[in-house]
Structure 1
Amino acid sequence: MEGKGTALALGAMGITVILALSLITIAWKRTDIHDHMLGAVLGIILLGAALAGVFLFFTLPDNRRPVVFFLTFFVLLTLPGNVFMHARAYTSFSLNAYDLDAPGMPSPLLFLLPYIAVMALVFIRLSSWSMTFDPEPGSPPIPLQDLRQRLQTLNDGAQFPFTITPGKRPDEIIVDWKYADAAWLDLLRLHKITELTRLTIRLDESDHTARVREMQSQFGASAGVGGAGMSFYMQWGAITFYQTQRETLYGIQIENGRPVPKLSYSYTFDIREMRDPLLKLITANGWTFRCVTLPVKWLTG
C-alpha cells in the first residue's frame, strides 16, 4: 500500500491541529464561559492525537491509512464537545436557556443514539478501509480456485509458522498459528498455557476481494497445593494493526506428559509474520486484501 493515504493523512493531521488550537484559544480567551476549561481538555486530547499521528506517519511510511483512521475517529469522538464549545464561544447558545426536564422536551437519547450509531458505522467502515491493500499494479485477478490452491501451497514449506486448512465453505481458508503451547512445573505448581491466532479468509470472486477476520484466544490453567485455577480469553472480529509479543516461561518443562531437562520456554508472536505472506500472495495475484470486523459485505466494504 505504498503511497496510499499520504495526502489524506496530512489533511487529517492538519484538521486535528486546527481544531485543537481553536479549542485551546477559546479556553484561554473566553474565561467568561462557564465551561471554558472543557476546550482546553479537548484541545490537549486532540493535540496528543495529532502528535501520535505524526509519529505513525513517519514510522510507517508505507501504510498511512491507519493514521487517517486514528485521527478521524478522535475528531468524531470529540465532535459533540467541539460543537458545544464553539457554539458557546461564538453564538448566544446556552444550555441554561433550556429546561431539559420540562414536559414536552425531547430526551437527550434522541440525539445521542444517532451519534452512537454513526460512530459505530464510521468505526467499522473506516477500520476496514485503513487495512485494505490493493492489488499490485499490472496483476490480473486469477480465479478463486487457483488462488485457494496457491494459498494452501504455503503449507509446503517450513518457513512460515502457521498452518492453512480449507474452511467449511468452498470460498473459505483457515490460517492458524499456535504460538504458545507449553506446560511447566515451578514451586510444586503445574501450569499450562495455549495461545492461538486464527485468520478466516473468505474469497469473494464478484469483486476479487479476500476478506480477513481475526480471532485470538488464550487458555491458561494451573494446579498445586494452594488449589487450581483456570482462565480463558477470546477476541473475535478485532483488527490488529500491529502486535509483537515475546515471553519466556521459567520452570521444569513438561512434554508428552513427562518432565524434560529444560528450565525455560520462550515464544514470540508478530502479526506481520502471519499476515504479510498472505497479503503478498493475494495482492500479487490481482486480488484485494481487506481486514474486516464483521462478515457483512455492505457494512465493511
Structure 2
Amino acid sequence: MDGGESKPCMVFLLYMNRSGSTLLAHLLDQYRDIGVTPEADIPDGLLLSTADIREEIDILSYLDKLYRNRKFSAWNVDRDRLERALRGMIPPYGFEHILLEILSLYFSSSHARVYIYKRGHYINHVPELRRLFPGCRFLFIERDPRAIFESQKRSVDSVSGRVMAVNAVERAIKYVRTMKLVERYSSDGDFFSLRFEDLVSDPDRAICPVLDFLGVDNRETVRSRYFQKIPESQHHLHRGILAKPALKKIDEWQKVLRHEEIDAMQWIAGRTIRSRGYELFPTSTGCLRSGFFLLWAVGHLLFRHAPAEVLRRTIKR
C-alpha cells in the first residue's frame, strides 16, 4: 500500500454466525497495517433505523441511540471526540460519513491503513454499500453449513440469552440464500471469499491471498489483541481463537448432529453444499424417520415466523 496521505481502505467482513469470522479477524488483526473492529449494531439505515444527520440537533439523538448499544459502547470510542467530529461536518450527511469518523477514532492509536468493519448481515446489502462507500471491498468467510448449525446449537447469544439455532431446516434455507449472494458477487474484483476449513488447516497459506486482495504489502506483524477488543459478555463464544486452530472443528458436526438433522439440511441444501466443495454425509436414518423430522422442522419454522409476518402486515396497514 502507499504510505503517507493515502485514505484508508474500507473493508466489510461478511459471514454467517459461527463461520469462523472471529478467528479470521484475530489473524488479520496481527498485521500492522490492518485494523479489525468487533461486531456492533451501528445505526446505518440498512439493518437499523436511518442514520441521516439533517441538522445539528440530530447529532445528539444519533449519539444517544449509538451509545445505548452495548456492543458499540464496548469499543470505548470517546463520545465527546465523536460529537466534535460530527459537528465539524456540514449537514446533511449520512451513515457513510459517520462510520468513517467512528473508525478513524477507533483506529487512531494504531497504524492501520485497512479498516475492516465486522458486520455479517451486510451480505444482504452489498449493492447499497458499494454506492455509499465507493472503492470499498468485501471479505466473506464461508463454512460447511452443517458445522455452522452444530456450533449455533451449542452457542448462547450474548444479547438474547438463547441458543443461536434450533431448526436445521431454517439454517439450511438461510445458507442457500446466503450462498446465492456469494456466488453472484464472487466474480467481482472487490469481493473475496475464503473457507474456514482452509483457514484452520493452514492459516498462513490461507491468509496470504487475503492480504493480496486487501493490498497489504507490509506483512509486519504485532501481537494480536483482538480477543481483548471483544466485549466480555461475548468471551464465552470466542475463547477458541486464543488456542491453535483445531482441525477437529472441521468435521466435529458429523459426531454431534442427529442424523435426521443432517438429512434435513442435505435435502434442502445438498446441491449448494456440493457446489461449494463439501461432500454429502451418508446417514443411517430411515426415510420415514427423516420424513417425520423434516415435517416437524418445517412446521416449527412456519409456526415461529407466521405470527411475526402477520404482525408486520398489520403494522403496515
TM-score, with structure 1 as normaliser: 0.21
- Who wins on radius of gyration, i.e. which is larger? 1
Give 1 or 2: higher helix fraction: 2
Give 1 or 2: higher strand fraction: 1
| Larger RCO (alpha carbons 8 Å, 6+ apart) | 2
